Amino acid sequence: MSDKPKNVFRIDIEPTEENPDRHPTHGWQVRVKRQKEQHTKYFSDKRFGGREEALEKAVEYRDELLEELPDPMDPVKRSAEARSKTGVIGLNFCWKDDGSGTSKPYVQLSWLEDDDTRRSAAYSVRKWNLRRAVWKACVRLHEARAEQEGEAEEVNDMFQTAFPNIREQYEKGPDGNGLPEEEREEAAAQA
């Protein structure tokens, strides 16, 4: 095997002047990360009968592991997840000016159709209250994703993830200084 195999790393550690008691270690380590979980296993040259034999076993193990594990997350999706302030990709909270100069709270969602057309919807917190607006948005997002992908995250899981984050954003108010008095009273009445 002349090419370096993916997810298989060589480890050669010898005692040094700084660490003379360090045990010499020679072998291959398989490292695969999926859904934020690291999977590793070490294959010692000594235990497997030499450098090449240990490499063969490591590659064999890596291939079996990759068969069992889910495919890696799409980098675009991973990037979107990192940017999501709600914990649910495609779901966010905002304050929109209704044209009268007054900012009103909305729960928004967006998704891509099969033809890559971006679609969106929004639910007014004033009309539905915060909890129902988040729930309705999660239901709609679930339906859109199930239509497109055939499977989607469960509505309750989306809601449990998004609601605390959206509530926190809502409570900060439109300018980040807390809810206006009338909004605070409405929120208290809905709780």
Query: What would the pLDDT profile of 108-143 be if each residue is shown by its tens digit?
Result: 999 888 787 889 999 999 999 999 999 999 999 999
Domain-located, residue 154: yes
Domain-located, residue 103: yes
User: Would you state the torsion angle of the CA atoms of residues 142, 84, 172, 162, taken in this order, to the nearest 10 degrees?
Assistant: 30
Same domain, 39 and 107: no
Domain-located, residue 3: no
Q: Among 137, 58, 146, 128, which residue's Cα sits nearest to residue 92?
A: 137
Same domain, 40 and 110: no
Same domain, 80 and 169: yes
Stretch 25-41: mean pLDDT, rounded? 91
pLDDT tens digits for 47-72? 999 999 999 999 999 999 999 998 88
Look over the chain and give the mean of its residue pLDDT values, rounded to a whole number: 87
Give the separation between CA 153 and CA 158, rounded to whole angstroms: 7
Question: Measured between alpha carbons, how far is residue 153 from residues 52, 73, 128 in Å?
Answer: 44, 14, 23
Residue 142 neighbours by CB under 8 Å, 6+ apart: 152, 153, 154, 155, 158
Same domain, 105 and 181: yes
CB 121 within 8 A of CB 91: no
- What is the domain count for the chain? 2
Residue 4 neighbours by CB under 8 Å, 6+ apart: none
- pLDDT for the residue 77: 60
| Beta carbons within 10 angstroms of residue 137's beta carbon | 29
Dig out the tokens for 19 from the structure. 């660490």
Same domain, 101 and 154: yes
**Domain boundary, last residue among 38, 68, 98:** 68
Domain membership of residue 127 as a residue range: 75-190
At residue 8, the 3 state secondary structure works out as strand
Domain-located, residue 2: no
Same domain, 96 and 165: yes
Q: Among 60, 61, 52, 2, which residue's Cα sits nearest to residue 27?
A: 52
Which residue has tokens 């009445």? 189
pLDDT tens digits for 85-106? 898 988 999 999 878 888 899 9
Q: Reply yes or no on whether the pLDDT at 162 is more than 60.
A: yes
Stretch 11-18: mean pLDDT, rounded? 90
